[in-house]
Structure 1
């Protein structure tokens, strides 16, 4: 059961790349530019088939998590300036700010985290900023980090992206685990990406 869950989680983690390969295989060049949206729609259609998910659940324990959430909002402002992300063009900027954060949260914290919790021992292994971190949270964060290689080639820059993704995945996963909802992790993820765009643009203006 555990290996089945890990295998399914791995396939879901690289579902975007699988979608791209399918488009390339069938030489759908015209539709290929919209592979992101086909992937997003496919993930959203799949959600109801997973009886255990955190996608549509209203958050619980929300007042207990608010102090940590507020700290992370400030932390996003500080650390996003070092993310290295610099999407170019309206299409990429909109997707980076909205589409990717929402679909990645649906996928990794909404679906993969509950899948792992069903078959992997979920005892707390550490505490980070008063958030309980479990093995499923760490595995989902690791998959989240590794999955960023499907968007970028392996380089020092992509390794930096993976490090940010892993750290963010720990916090996003722990918050989702406590609240049983992806709402707060979605807000944090969107904020981080939007701020990354802001600091990248400001840096470009300062260099000009």
Structure 2
């Protein structure tokens, strides 16, 4: 039990651990590519877990699709107020593609299903007709906390943490409903994509 909880914490702060490792070794010249090294390490680690939602096709998709459609709109509107504004093609590409893929693998693909070993998956509340359980809330908390490794603590980073927590609940509930990260991954990419689009529009005004 304690080993698995320790692994969850390692996964939560895995980006920062990789960043420190690169800075403290002869790999320092690769610091720009920390996110890609992190992505490779996480993907290689996936087979070490027995329970995962990564490579599974969605179930209950008939019920999930209408909710997914509503959440697409919610995420697009919410992105307008996210405050995210990555700079440069490399960072923008990673923000839209790499981070969503790896974060969904970690928090909804690996941590969420394995949290069921420690918590009863009984419904606490419903959001958009989706059950929010203790594993969903716990994974959302870890997802929110993980954003501290990307940004220094500030009013803006606290805002990012709150957004990540609320988004994590919706993404987790969708993943638990479908037993797959597919819909959550698309939602995550849509949110990040439109955050960039809105940030670019605002910078031109």
Scaled by the length of structure 1, the TM-score of the pair is 0.96
Contact 1:112/1:140 (CA < 8 Å) preserved in 2? yes
> What is the deviation of 1:4?
3.4
Unaligned ranges ≥5, structure 2 = none
Unaligned ranges ≥5, structure 1 = none
- 1:23-102 matches, cutoff 5 A: 23-102=22-101
Partner of 1:156: 155
Partner of 1:204: 203
Q: Deviations over 1:141-193 (max 9, x none)?
A: 00000100000000000011111100110000011001110000000000000
- Count how many residue pairs are aligned between Structure 1 and Structure 2: 205
CA RMSD of aligned residues (A): 1.0
CA distance in 2, matches of 1:41, 1:113: 20
After TM superposition, where is structure 1 displaced by more than 2 Å over at least 4 residues in a row?
3-7
Partner of 1:174: 173
| Match status 1:139 vs 2:138 | yes
SS in 1 for 2:85: coil
CA distance in 1, matches of 2:135, 2:108: 10
CA distance in 1, matches of 2:97, 2:167: 16
Partner of 1:125: 124
Q: Deviations over 1:18-42 (max 9, x none)?
A: 1111112214221222111111011
CA distance in 1, matches of 2:109, 2:117: 13
CA distance in 2, matches of 1:103, 1:84: 21
SS in 1 for 2:124: strand
> What is the deviation of 1:76?
1.1
> What is the deviation of 1:128?
1.0
Contact 1:5/1:119 (CA < 8 Å) preserved in 2? no
Scaled by the length of structure 2, the TM-score of the pair is 0.97
